[in-house]
Amino acid sequence: MASSAGKKRPMVRVSRTDSSSNLTDKDSKKPKMDSGDRQGEPASLTSEEEEAAQRDPARDVNLYKTACDGIRQLLQEIQEIRGSGRKDAAAEIAERKIQASMHFITLKKLNRLAHMRCKKARDTTHEHKQKVDSYHLQLQNLLYEVMHLQKEITKCLEFKSKDEEIELVEEAEFYKEAPEEISKPDVTQQDPHQLTLARLDWELEQRKRLAAKCKDYEDQKEEISQEIQTRRDQLDSLLPRLNTVLESTKPLQEALKMPFDEVRQQHRMAQFLPRPLYVLYVQSSAYQQACDPALTVTIEGDLDAAKSSGPSTSAALDVDSDSDDEEGTKEKSRRRRTISVDPTDRRGKVLHKHPLQVNITIKCKDGSTLALTFHYLLTLQVVTVIVQLQPVAEAITSAVSGGDLLSPSSLLGCLFPGDHGNTTPNPANQFLLERARIEDFNECVKEVGKPYVWAQQLAGLQFLNTEEVGLHDIVIIITLRVIWSTERGSVPVTRECQHLFPTKILSRLVSWKSITHDDYIVLPYCQPVVESGMVHDTDNFYVAVLQRGSATLTAAMLLSPGYLTCPPLFSLNLNMGTDHTASNDENIRAMEHEVNVHYKELLVKGSHDQLLTNQLQRLLMCLDVYLETQSNSSATEGPSEFGREKLCPRVVRGPSRCKPFVFNSQHGFFTQR
């Protein structure tokens, strides 16, 4: 074919291109290009790429070779023609040249096509390379994933379950002991997992049984300890019973004793009294015989010690009656005195009392008795008084508000203006006291009693700045006070105060007693008052117990001697299983607030006479309200101990959830302040 193409070059093209009809075009280029186009479409530069794709490269190579051969042949022919030197050589050469250039055009075209193919090949390569890259990446990902999964698998394999820590019973033992429904041998023999589960079940079962057993034992223990407790209680209750048996034998013992010849004894003792007490004794005896049979005067004390204390301090009237047979006892007592009385410190020496004392007992109309014990302090040379009051039984319960005045420590206080009995009336004592490091005589009052000025007067002791007081006046004043307090102190509130309270109050006052300053200041519920500095040791302190059902309200009271201007101050402690005080129960604080701050509402015509009684009545009322509203406000089910009897529109009010402690007497209901 190549040779044929070489022979008739234009024909070659035409023959190669099937659609030769297009060759009619003048432009030589076009037909060539068209000749390349088998479809015979009009060729354009842009479509050359398509063309390059469609054409067979092998054929193009042949075409290329043919073209080269053609050119070579034409050149050879040109050379031959030139060599022949023919006439028409120039024309032939020109024609050959044209044919050669045609071939060049073909070459050029082929070159272009070759370039395009090369580019295309490069693109394809690039494309494939990218594809390969992405596949590689994917591969990497997958590898990573595989690695991760492997790690997870290892982790899972390494996972330790909790049950592995539990010590299970041996397998053999398990099969032996566990019941069939737990061990399930048919399943578990093959499946180790089921086996473990079954063993765990068995473990649980066993533990449950042990726990139940433990509980049983604990119950038993409880039971036994309860039994022990009841037996212990039984034993404890035995002692009081034995005591009562002992008590009941006492009257018999007393009945067997012989009565004393008291008067003779008294007179003999009087001889050994120190002078001031002797004067007192003589004076009061005389007064008793002359004016007041309700008064009794006795001498008490250690006669032997008095005898031994020598004539220097004794009345030394006549000690001749000392007979020989008393010598023995005298010796004995002297020894005793050195042991018991000789003070090891100065304080004891300074406060040393004469062994004998004078007791004066005043009987009141209602049966109460007042006992005054007069002591003589040898060193200080003053007479001191200790007071004791024994009210009759009914007076204890009735003399509620008067009780403050019946207090032993204050009853005789201020009988005369300024006579508190807290300081020694003998100015000469100051030095002695200082030497004994007693800065305030008040400290010793408990040991020796109070050195009231009137007592010195009665005993004939004269100090500066004192007034003349007769025994008669003193007795009258004391008696008046006692009568005043017992009559006013009745529980029922006086008529003019009735309107302050509701008619029905269910709480009851069950006890009333006096306590000391020291007792008061350690009461936990009195601490706020103590810390506020309102407590003085000259004040009187009482504890009243109010009760309703199982609830007990303890009220500690502080009564200042100046009670006419300073009303009693209450501190409360409510016990209902637990202690409620002002510091843990706001409503107790509110109750204290009611009686301590709003006391003026309880005054009748501005008089303090009924104040304490009214305050107590107010407390009873508040306790009722507290208990009745308590059961209501708590959400506990079932009937409560304290039924609601008071009418109150609001059970609690305000942020403090205060109970209605204020009684509206006009409408008869309770409200909050």
Partner 1 sequence: MADNFETEMLTQRRQLYTTVFSQSFSPCGRFVAVCDNFGRITIFSLAASLSADAKEDSRKPVFTFQAHNGPVYTLSSTERFLISAGTGDIKAWSWADILKKSPKVQWSLSHPFNHSFDNPETNSIVITKDGTLCSGCGDNNVYLWDLQTGTCTNTLKGHTDYIHALTLRGNDQQVVSAGEDGSVRIWDLRDSREAAHILEPYKHDVCARPDQGRWIGCVAVDSGDYLLVCGGGPSLSLWHLRSMTPVVAFPTPNSCQNVVMFHEDQIMSAGSSPCVNHWSINGELRSQVPCTPPCLYSLAINTNSASYKVLSAAGSSSKVDIFTNFGYKAFSMLVC
Q: Would you tell me which residues interact with partner 1 (CB under 8 A)?
A: 528-529, 532, 534, 565-566, 569, 582-584, 586, 589, 592-593, 596-597, 633-636, 649-650, 652-657, 667, 669, 671, 673
Q: Which CB sits closer to partner 1, 454 or 661?
A: 661
Residue whose C-alpha is closest to residue 618's, from 456, 523, 509: 509
Q: Which CB sits closer to partner 1, 368 or 615?
A: 615
Q: Which CB sits closer to partner 1, 244 or 666?
A: 666
Residue whose C-alpha is closest to residue 670's, from 596, 616, 590, 610: 590
448, 351 contact by CB (below 8 A): yes
Q: Which CB sits closer to partner 1, 32 or 589?
A: 589
364, 437 contact by CB (below 8 A): no
| 3-class DSSP state of 92 | helix
Burial group, residue 632, by CB count within 10 angstroms (0-12, 13-18, 19+): middle
430, 382 contact by CB (below 8 A): no
From the CB of 658, what's the least distance to partner 1, in Å? 9
Q: Which CB sits closer to partner 1, 69 or 537?
A: 537
Rounded-to-integer distance, Cα 360 and Cα 383, Å:
14
Q: Which CB sits closer to partner 1, 320 or 531?
A: 531
Q: How far is the CA of 443 from the CAs of 59, 127, 305, 446, 537, in angstroms?
A: 143, 116, 26, 7, 10
From the CB of 613, what's the least distance to partner 1, in Å? 20
Q: Which CB sits closer to partner 1, 150 or 583?
A: 583
Residue 371: its H or E element = strand 369-377
Q: Which CB sits closer to partner 1, 283 or 671?
A: 671
What DSSP state is assigned to residue 619? H
Q: Which CB sits closer to partner 1, 542 or 599?
A: 599
**What's at 8, amino acid-wise?**
K
From the CB of 330, what's the least distance to partner 1, in Å? 58
Both tokens of 178, joined, read: 């566990």
Q: Which CB sits closer to partner 1, 231 or 673?
A: 673
Angle between helices 262-270 and 275-290 (to 10 degrees): 140
Rounded-to-integer distance, Cα 402 and Cα 490, Å:
8
Q: Which CB sits closer to partner 1, 274 or 502?
A: 502
From the CB of 301, what's the least distance to partner 1, in Å? 44
From the CB of 637, what's the least distance to partner 1, in Å? 8
Rounded-to-integer distance, Cα 428 and Cα 461, Å:
13
Q: Which CB sits closer to partner 1, 112 or 593?
A: 593
CB count, 10 Å around CB of 345?
9
Q: Which CB sits closer to partner 1, 19 or 550?
A: 550
From the CB of 528, what's the least distance to partner 1, in Å? 6
Residue whose C-alpha is closest to residue 547's, from 594, 505, 589: 505
Looking from the CA of 654 toward its CB, the CA atoms found within 13 Å total 10
Rounded-to-integer distance, Cα 492 and Cα 499, Å:
13
Q: Which CB sits closer to partner 1, 42 or 649?
A: 649
From the CB of 407, what's the least distance to partner 1, in Å? 21
From the CB of 654, what's the least distance to partner 1, in Å? 6
594, 588 contact by CB (below 8 A): no
| 3-class DSSP state of 387 | strand
Both tokens of 405, joined, read: 């005045």
Rounded-to-integer distance, Cα 561 and Cα 564, Å:
8
From the CB of 636, what's the least distance to partner 1, in Å? 6
Rounded-to-integer distance, Cα 119 and Cα 329, Å:
153
What are the residues whose beta carbons fall under 8 Å from the beta carbon of 208, sequence distance 6 or more?
A: none
From the CB of 555, what's the least distance to partner 1, in Å? 16
Helix H, strand E, coil C: the string for 586-617 is HHHHHHHHHHHHCHHHHCECCECCCHHHHHHH
What are the residues whose beta carbons fall under 8 Å from the beta carbon of 509, sequence distance 6 or more?
A: 400, 491, 544, 545, 546, 547, 616, 620
Q: Which CB sits closer to partner 1, 60 or 592?
A: 592
Rounded-to-integer distance, Cα 561 and Cα 557, Å:
13
From the CB of 201, what's the least distance to partner 1, in Å? 31
From the CB of 249, what's the least distance to partner 1, in Å? 51
From the CB of 279, what's the least distance to partner 1, in Å? 40
Q: Which CB sits closer to partner 1, 528 or 561?
A: 528
245, 332 contact by CB (below 8 A): no
Q: Which CB sits closer to partner 1, 275 or 608?
A: 608
Q: Got the DSSP string for 37-90?
A: -TT-PPP-STTHHHHHHHS-HHHHHHHHHHHHHHHHHHHHHHHHHHHHT-TTHH
From the CB of 616, what's the least distance to partner 1, in Å? 18
From the CB of 522, what's the least distance to partner 1, in Å? 19
**What's at 347, amino acid-wise?**
R
Dihedral angle, C-alpha 401, 402, 407, 411, nearest 10 °? 150
